[in-house]
Amino acid sequence: MTDIVTETNNGAALSVRNLVKQYANADRRVLDDVSFDVPKGRVLVVVGPSGSGKSTLLRTIAGLEPIQGGQIALNGTVIETGKPGSEKAGRSARSSELRTHIGMVFQSYDLFPNKTVLGNIMMAPLLVQKRDKAEVEREALELLGKVGLADRKDAWPHELSGGQRQRIAICRALILHPEVLLFDEITAALDPEMVREVLDVVIGLARSGQTMVIVTHEMRFARAIADEIILLEDGHIVEHSTDPERFFIEPETERAQQFLRTFE
């Protein structure tokens, strides 16, 4: 079974093959036969109307939801295989060690309110990865510097703006050194003046070679950052473009043209 992915992934960091997702007590598939590769160091942007399955796709890749068909592989190794009838399982059977290889930042990432900024960032590497405390603190401070928040290391989450909280959430994901980082509309809940500071951090990550899958409604950002772009609708890939510039100027499908017009 492993061969299905390793034969076809061409050295991709992340391979999704024929993914099927159905929620318990639902009569239709939310994701149906979704396949794509993300090469190491590249950025895949996923766009699509509300309800098309974007968040579900990221959640299955992150191992937060079991899948009912298909496979997910990381660097050619299958980490998840779909099992028909697994709808009711709380989350996938992936080990907690494997989980740390894929990071995810959500639309409203609630930091732990009873921990400082530093405490939030240091928690998973200390508890899950059992890393050395001094080393983890050093790295946390370095990451805070990179997102422009070194001076807020002792602040409490409630003292931060939404944009600052999202930048901390990104640090919290980065300190685990994920092979792939998933972003689900991370600026959607922010006031407009804070969107830029968060997107700039993501653009910096792309330049540094971080492999990412990004779901966003910010089309200008998508155009600027995407190496490849997927339009999802009703759980199907409607268009997959390896030329994002072209996708935004003259998409191939009528559906993509319609979708893009809603942003004009």
Binding region for Mg ion (CB under 5 A): 54-55
C-alpha atoms less than 13 angstroms from C-alpha of 30 in its C-beta half-sphere: 22
The nearer residue to ligand ADP, 44 or 147, going by C-beta atoms, is 44
Q: Cβ of residue 246: shortest distance to Mg ion, in angstroms?
A: 26
Residue pair 14/64 in contact (Cβ under 8 Å)? The answer is: no
Instruction: Say how far apart CA 235 and CA 48 lie, in whole Å.
Output: 10
Q: Which stretch binds ligand ADP (CB under 6 A): 43-51, 79-87, 151-159, 240-248?
A: 43-51
Q: Helix 162-174 vs helix 117-127: angle between axes, to the nearest 10 degrees? A: 20
Q: Helix 192-207 vs helix 162-174: angle between axes, to the nearest 10 degrees? A: 20
Q: Which stretch binds ligand ADP (CB under 6 A): 22-30, 148-156, 190-198, 221-229?
A: 22-30
Residue pair 15/216 in contact (Cβ under 8 Å)? The answer is: no
Please state whether 211 falls in left (phi above 0), alpha (psi between -120 and 50) or beta.
beta
Instruction: Pick one of 9, 56, 164, 210: the residue that binds ligand ADP (CB under 6 A).
Output: 56
Select from 8, 30, 5, 22 the least CA-distant residue to 232.
30
Q: Which does 22 bind (CB under 5 to 8 A by kind): Mg ion, ligand ADP, none?
A: none
Instruction: Pick one of 29, 54, 99, 152: the residue that binds ligand ADP (CB under 6 A).
Output: 54
Q: Cβ of residue 55: shortest distance to Mg ion, in angstroms?
A: 3
Nearest residue to Mg ion, by Cβ distance, number only: 55
For 15-32, b where at least 16 C-beta lie within 10 A, e where not — what string?
A: bbbebbbbeeeeeebbbb
Verify binding: residue 163, ligand ADP, rule CB under 6 A: no
Instruction: Pick one of 9, 55, 164, 210: the residue that binds ligand ADP (CB under 6 A).
Output: 55
Q: Cβ of residue 7: shortest distance to Mg ion, in angstroms?
A: 32
Residues that bind ligand ADP (CB under 6 A): 23, 26, 30, 48, 50-56
